A and B are shown apart, each in its own frame.
Chain A
Amino acid sequence: MADAQKPKKQIVPKKNPMPAQDPAVRSRNFNEVALGYSPETAIAEAGRCLQCKNEPCRQGCPVEVDIPAFLKLASEGDFAGAIAKIKEKNALPAVCGRVCPQENQCEKYCTLGKKHEPVGIGRVERFCADWELAKGVKLPEVAPPTGFKVAVVGSGPAGITCAADLAKLGHKVTMFEALHVAGGVLMYGIPEFRLPKAVVQAEVENVKKLGVEIEVNSVVGKFATVDQLMEEGGFDAVFIGTGAGLPYFMNIPGENLCGVYSANEFLTRTNLMKAYQFPEWDTPIKVGRKVAVLGGGNVAMDAARTALRLGAEESWIVYRRSDKELPARHEEVEHAHEEGVKFAFLTSPTRIIGDDNGVVKAMECIRYELGEPDASGRRSPVPIPGSEYTMEVDTVVVAIGQGPNPLVPRTTKGLEVNRKGNIVANPETGATSKPGVYAGGDVVTGAATVILAMGAGKVGARSIHDYLMAKKSAK
């Protein structure tokens, strides 16, 4: 049959492998794990794309990148054209090429992937973005000024995307960031070895070049409320993208002992404050000999892999379901395995035990078995009575999830939130219950991915533009 159809192109069944640091070496340093394609490999990988007519990959991209078009350009060696095509839709390609869960998005729908391995879309995207960053970035066109001012609260993936899109449309955008550096979770959360901070800052600089002003050290809800920004600050609209900055704890005894960190604290000390360079950098961190990370998501994998790099002899993921239910990206779990992270599945702590100085020394755990599927379709874990045992640990990192940071919702009049504290926003438009105020990303959806937040930032920008244009014609 294949012969009869005469395929236009030679099928290359396997992805070009991503060069990576050796696991034994990298598990002890903070340098980036994946080293990136060479130009030749990028051309070859992009050339694997069948350029099929129905373009199923595009439905998998939350920011609507024209994937076949950029792959075609890249396959011809026109990297400048390829990155320009990507940037029509994606303000952070060097970030997305690294941290997007492509296997659940574009690559999941790739036609080639039905029988073979899908095109390494993310890897080619990363190559094109890095190629451009190295060469110097060509700025996209910016529309003439509209005279409207928009405040973007939070400079993570949702905020940056929204700000960049609005700036390109000619609006004057100010982005407020609570920490001392822009980037949000890309700076404080995702580790250097997965996403170098220099890459994030290069992307932030590009957004600034579009005319976006960034005010760091500015906690909205504290120095000014959203209402004050609109009434006194002269902002015509506000986008809230403040993320999932509220750590959840287990609520078990011993959680306030020394040596118990939230994943946010553990990662923020390491990534944002560069504790791995202590004492050259001032902020310290302690890991001890044996670390237990509670949880099975990407954040848990990041924490467990970070612990090894900080010098822990053993780093354990303690997860109450089995390996099949791990919510982390497949690649992250694989990398963790390769680096020597150990897994205690069907296990959960019941209490954390301290020494005479109030420092963690052990964790009492109980074993679980999988019962009937719950509402989410996952088999729910059931504790096995009498299976308690003690695990000696020096450090515990709680990585069981984050909620929305309440600072902005609590201080904004008339802003509707749900039971969990997430801002209620129309998924089609990002509109909140408050006129002129839009929201998107983790503060709306709960902790999710970088790219979904970016998609929400894009939707917010479009709606804010429509809102402002309607306001203009009403004048």
Chain B
Amino acid sequence: MYRILEKEVFSPIIKLMVIEAPKVARSCQAGQFVILRIHEEGERIPLTIADFDREKGTITIVFQEVGKTTEQLGAMNAGDSLRDFVGPLGVPSHIEKFGTVMVVGGGVGIAPVHPIARELKKAGNHVIGVIGSRTKELMFWEDKMREACSELHVTTDDGSYVRKGFVTDVMKEIIEDRGKENINLVLAIGPQPMMRACCNLTREYGLKTVVSLNALMVDGTGMCGCCRVSVGGVTKFVCVDGPEFDGHEVDWLELARRGAYFREEEQKARERAKEKHSCQCGCGGGK
């Protein structure tokens, strides 16, 4: 069992948890992910690592409640335990001194972008951070990102905080302002449509853009191929070849379709859990 040591509620649907997982914490690196299972009948879901503390042996995850498992997870509290927690999985982010790197986090994607931004800055890069959320209520970690980046730009889709605009609007302004030749790499993490939009923008400028993909997974070790995606016309497994890929090469339509294949079942499971849940014990409805 893996104990939840801390819980922080960023918004009704975005939550942070610090999990006791020394084995993962001792070797994980920025860009890697974990797979967790809440209870015996649970599904295995991947979550990108948002932070880690090797000495304390902890991993921080930040998740948005989008389905049955994340909703149940969100209902759990410090002191509760997860059934399974395995990692670090996937290939770590490629960190070197590129020069100037624009690091973009959209929505809950701000969390996984954070440790990568920190490592890039540590490696001597000038890190331009761009973070955005739909609305003020969903914004988090502005302070942590300000520390991890050399400069930070914040936006909200509805203009309820700092400014109005998508992250791509901010990116475009920065690229136009600084000149595309003065930006060496872009890294974007967030919901698929946002990453796709970022890639469409940077393609116009010929700016290489790395994205971190979220795909359905079962084992997460390259055994089942559920997470396969076409990158540059070649089939890759997100779990072992990724999660980071050249965003200009990703077949986004295929990725979105594969991700939606079980939507009907997911909906059914979610409704069923809500109907069943009447207790106040924090079990999230159990199975």
Contact = CB atoms under 8 A, between A and B. Distances in A.
B229 to A, nearest CB: 7
B272 interface: yes
A429 interface: no
A411 to B, nearest CB: 11
A278 interface: yes
26 contacts: A178-B219, A180-B37, A217-B84, A217-B85, A219-B87, A245-B221, A246-B223, A247-B224, A256-B230, A261-B225, A261-B226, A262-B225, A265-B224, A268-B223, A268-B224, A269-B218, A273-B43, A279-B265, A282-B41, A282-B287, A283-B44, A286-B261, A358-B253, A358-B258, A359-B257, A359-B261
A218 B89 CA distance: 10
Interface string B210-254: 000000001101111110111000010000100000000001011
Contacts of A282: 41-43, 68-69, 269, 287
B168 to A, nearest CB: 25
B27 interface: yes
Interface in B84-119: 84-89
A16 B129 CA distance: 74
Nearest to A225: B27
Contacts of B86: 178, 180, 217-219
B23 A223 contact: yes
Q: Is the interface of A mostly helix, strand, loop or mixed?
A: loop
Contacts of A179: 219
A56 to B, nearest CB: 38
Q: How large is the interface on B (under 10, 10 to 19, 20 to 34, 35 or more residues)?
A: 35 or more
Most buried by A among B44, B218, B230, B258: B218
Interface string A254-275: 0110110110110011001110
A224 B219 contact: no
Contact of A264 (B224, B229, B261): B224
Contacts of A223: 23-24, 26-27, 87-88
B258 A256 contact: yes
A368 B40 CA distance: 46
B88 A247 contact: no
A357 interface: yes
A265 B235 CA distance: 16
B262 interface: yes
Contact of A216 (B69, B84, B260): B84
B268 interface: yes
A247 B84 contact: no
B142 interface: no
A407 B230 contact: no
A405 interface: yes
A453 to B, nearest CB: 16
B266 interface: yes
A258 B260 CA distance: 9
Given A217-B86, A256-B229, A358 B68 contact: no
Interface in A310-362: 357-359
Nearest to A232: B26
A181 to B, nearest CB: 9
Interface in A228-251: 245-247, 249
Contact of A247 (B87, B225, B229, B257): B225
B210 to A, nearest CB: 21
Contact of B27 (A216, A224, A273): A224
Contacts of B84: 180, 216-217
A413 interface: no
A274 B44 CA distance: 12
Q: Which of B88, B226, B254 has the most CB of A within 10 A?
A: B226
Contacts of B221: 178, 219, 245, 405, 407
Contacts of A281: 41, 43, 287
B203 interface: no
A182 B23 CA distance: 18
Contacts of A407: 221-222, 240
A216 B37 CA distance: 13
B262 to A, nearest CB: 5
A223 B69 CA distance: 25
B110 to A, nearest CB: 25
B150 to A, nearest CB: 31
A141 interface: no
Given A259-B261, A280-B287, A264 B41 contact: no
B83 interface: yes
Nearest to B255: A256
